[in-house]
Amino acid sequence: MAERSLLAAVSGIDANQTWLDELGSNIANADTVGYKSQTVEFQDLLNEQIAGAQAPPAAGQGAGSNPIAVGSGTQVGAVSSDLSEGSLEQTGRSTDVAIQGNGYFVVNSGGQQLYTRDGSFTLDGNGDLATQNGMLVMGWQANNAGVINTNAPLTGITIPTGQNLGATPTSQMTLAGNLPAWNGIGTPPVEANTLNCYDALGNVVPVTLTFTGVAGSANTWTVQGTVPKPGGGTDTLWTTPPTVTFNPANGQIASVTGATTNADGSLSLPVGAMPAGYNWPAGDTWNVQFPASGTPDAVTQFAGQQSIALISQDGYAAGSLVGFSIGADGIISGDFSNGRTLQLGELALASFANPGGLADQGRGAYAATANSGQPLVGTPGSGGRGGLVSGALEMSNVDLGNQLTSLIQAQEAYQANTKVITTTQQAIQSLESIP
């Protein structure tokens, strides 16, 4: 029947047109961030059975016959996505981030939760982290102390540009380094070091610790702290300078008068009186911390150059947010003008049992379906989810060489189907011309 060949050719034209459409879309998105190449898969239509199979008769009486069926064309059976990773391209922008491995960023579009591999984010007028087309990026926002609760519900991530970080007064200073070996003979050595600390309003408080060898007493030093008064003059931290004694057998601290021993073996030496003229919280005090003996930063007494120093303190002045970065674990760290770093939030990733079952929503976003499985949301690098690469983007995984080759195949198949129509038309006309 001529009609059958026409219908089969039309189905082939329709299916190949879909293939051409998809190839065109792939080629058009060769430079689209996070795009996944699509592949059209064909399947045959129901065959029309002309004759059924015949079983072989008795031996010597003939042979059986196979069924006879004529195909009726083709149709698009599926359009599948190539979920392989695209190459990573460095951009250097702090708002750009790529997923290296499995998973999707979680975004919110008008109240609907969607998923994307496109990490070309930006900040909107409210400081919200968003996609280029206006979808909010979801995760967990840190509290004012920089603590992130990943057990809390997802929320939009806000980067509080210009946020002020209040001053925190110093409560602890930490020492490290070496004092030159002192045998108690001759002029006592004096070693001093200064470190800036802070009061409650962020005012700088320069603290100088001075170690002085005790005359006639080997391996023994006094330590005194001095702080300049804002109005002039100097305050001392201890009425009677504490004494530091070293073990001559190993160069480690044997004792510090007035100090208490902590659980980790370090020594805490409380300050006798807070310096006058500064702003201190009620009941505030300072502790000078001596790291535990035998640790890399322990205060020692060995022959050689002195390196004793106050290496750190836990206070800081007020500052404002001047930048941020995104780590491989999705944690967003804010950089403040006072040199401090504070966690601002953490990005969430979602994984699926069958990511091929996600429904393409356009704009690089996908929606969960009954066949994708429910999203398993967690932190990057956990539960089989990939890590993040900051300052980079995942590019399209479209292979232009393969697409152009397939384009030629689709064109030939399309033309072959139109040829069937032309040939069938000629056959019909020949029949009609029979007198």
What does the alpha-carbon distance between residue 81 and residue 360 come to, in Å, rounded to a whole number?
A: 10
- Please write the tens of the pLDDT for every residue from 346-373: 999 999 999 999 999 999 999 999 999 9
Those residues whose C-beta lies under 8 Å from the C-beta of residue 309, and which sit 6 or more positions away, are 175, 176, 177, 193, 195
- Return the residue matching tokens 């020492």: 175
What does the alpha-carbon distance between residue 256 and residue 293 come to, in Å, rounded to a whole number?
A: 12
What does the alpha-carbon distance between residue 196 and residue 119 come to, in Å, rounded to a whole number?
A: 41
State yes or no: pLDDT of 124 exceeds 70: yes
pLDDT score recorded for residue 370: 96
Contact 403, 27 (CB under 8 A): yes
- Neighbouring-strand partners of residue 239: none
Q: Where are the domains of the chain?
A: 2-49+69-78+399-432, 88-161+324-394, 172-313
Contact 86, 62 (CB under 8 A): no
Give residue 221's Cα distance to chain centre. Answer: 50
pLDDT score recorded for residue 10: 87
- The pLDDT of 268-279, averaged and rounded, is 93
What does the alpha-carbon distance between residue 252 and residue 179 come to, in Å, rounded to a whole number?
A: 11
Q: What is the pTM of this model?
A: 0.75
pLDDT score recorded for residue 294: 93
Q: What b/e string do you get for 121-130 counting C-beta neighbours within 10 Å, with b at 16 or more?
A: bebeeeebbb
What CA–CA distances, in Å, run from 390 to 120, 297, 331, 333? 11, 33, 11, 12
State yes or no: pLDDT of 53 exceeds 80: no
131 CB-contact burial (10 Å; exposed 0-12 / middle 13-18 / buried 19+)? buried
- Please write the tens of the pLDDT for every residue from 147-164: 999 999 999 999 988 778
| CATH of the structural domain 172-313, one choice from 2.60.98, 2.60.40, 3.40.50, 3.30.160 | 2.60.98
Q: Give which of 73, 65, 12, 28 is closest to 48, Cα–Cα.
A: 73
Q: Please report, in angstroms and rounded to a whole number, the separation of the first and last CA atoms in the chain.
A: 20
State yes or no: pLDDT of 34 exceeds 60: yes
Contact 6, 423 (CB under 8 A): no
What CA–CA distances, in Å, run from 11 to 47, 74, 233, 413? 13, 6, 97, 12
